[in-house]
Amino acid sequence: MKNLLSIDDLTKAEAIEILDTAVTLSNLSETGVKKFPTLRGRTVVNLFFEDSTRTRISFEAAAKRLSADVINFSAKGSSLSKGESLKDTAMTLQAMGADAVIIRHNSSGAAHRLASQKWIDGAVINAGDGTREHPTQALLDAFTIRRNLKNDQGDLKGLKVGIVGDILHSRVARSNVLLLSKLGAEVVLIAPPTLLPVGVDSWGTSVSYSFDEVIGDCDAVMMLRVQKERMEDLFFPTEREYSRAFGLTKDRIAMMKESAIVMHPGPMNRGLEISADSAESNKSVIVEQVANGVSVRMAVLYLLIGGATTRDLETHLGENK
């Protein structure tokens, strides 16, 4: 594994290896070990072309707990706002010796471009590209489901996960559908027809237009943020109507299975896709997702740049010649 660009690149075994590594790391931090020397001397660059709180801070915390040096690079206040191209930015990072570049970009495929053009030889981690993918979010969601419902063991066979809301604009949904299916869970997408992408029938999931009909069967319900910033058209008549049909409320929580959990990748639009009391109900694992995010990202960083990287091997080979 050199990069993490898409869930599609992972085999089921690799995905489970990431989750297992994250379990070990998360248990260690519970015993009070907060810092590891493992990535000392490695440089990790957070390259964020799009706003983010959770993901950037989570990657930063993960890298710092592994003793890596972290450089935060956001579009605002950098030469990017002067019109520098992705290529020139990448070449600058290469010259600075970045061992891993974590990239978030509003264009789908930006991470692939960065990784495939050989501008940099460090690892590339996709932290969200347009409406395409957000693999580490899917991994932390799978981790959270597995921790709560499968006792940190194996895959997710036999579980039913409902992904609710703005599927059309959601990279979180895309990565989750790929990963959850790979791990054997059954996924049902719940959204109004206007918020489902064209060709959704080829995703291998079931689709429901009625939240109330399927909520009782779900072991986990994943609420998605209504992404107003990506909505150029009118996708539903009013926010109140959306909220009534697809919002998670106290009444709907009461319809859920006893063991079922409520998730949200954040940031939440309270009162729109999720009501304040359901976000804080005892079924909600939303805060836990954030904590798990750090462990999962530590696992990804460890597996990508904790061992010998391509660059290490090249220097090493050079010495032996």
Partner 1 sequence: MSVVLNGAEIARALKRISHEILERNHGSSDLILLGIPTRGVAIAEQIASDISGIENSEIECGTLDITMYRDDLRLKPPRNLFPTRIPASGIDGKNVVLVDDVLYSGRTIRAALDALNEIGRPRTVQLAVLIDRGHRELPIRADYVGKNIPTSKNENVKVHISSVDGIDEVTIESDLK
Looking at 9, 14, 17, 280, which residue binds partner 1 (CB under 8 A)? Answer: 17
DSSP-assigned beta bridge partners for residue 72: 46
Active-site annotation holds for 315: no
Active site residue 134: yes
Contact status: 61 vs partner 1 (CB under 8 A): no
State which of positions 261-320 bind partner 1 (CB under 8 A). 302-304, 306-309, 312, 316
Q: Is 104 a catalytic residue?
A: yes
To the nearest whole angstrom, how small is the minimum distance from the Cβ of residue 175 to partner 1? 22
Q: Which of 21, 46, 205, 289 binds partner 1 (CB under 8 A)?
A: 21
Is-catalytic flag, 64?
Answer: no
Q: Report cis status (omega within 30 of 0) of the bond before 267.
A: yes
Stretch touching partner 1 by CB under 8 A, among 23-31, 73-81, 237-245, 277-285: 23-31
d(C-alpha 222, C-alpha 250), whole Å: 15
- Cβ proximity to partner 1, 33 vs 96, nearer residue: 33
Sign, CA dihedral 188-191-192-196, equals negative
Rounded CA-CA distance 116/125 in Å is 12
Of the listed pieces 18-26, 72-80, 128-136, 142-150, which binds partner 1 according to CB under 8 A? Answer: 18-26
Compute the distance between CA of residue 127 and CA of residue 134 in angstroms, rounded to an integer: 6
Least distance between partner 1 and beta carbon 12 (Å): 16
Q: Which is catalytic among the residues 54, 257, 270, 311? A: 54
DSSP calls for 99-147: SEEEEEESSTTHHHHHHHTTS--SEEEEEEETTTB-HHHHHHHHHHHHH
Q: Identify any residues that bridge with 73 across adjacent strands, giving them in sequence order.
A: 47
Place of tokens 């015993």: 31
Active site residues: 54-55, 82, 104, 134
Give the interface with partner 1 as residue ranges (CB under 8 A). 17, 20-21, 24-25, 27-28, 31-33, 35-38, 302-304, 306-309, 312, 316
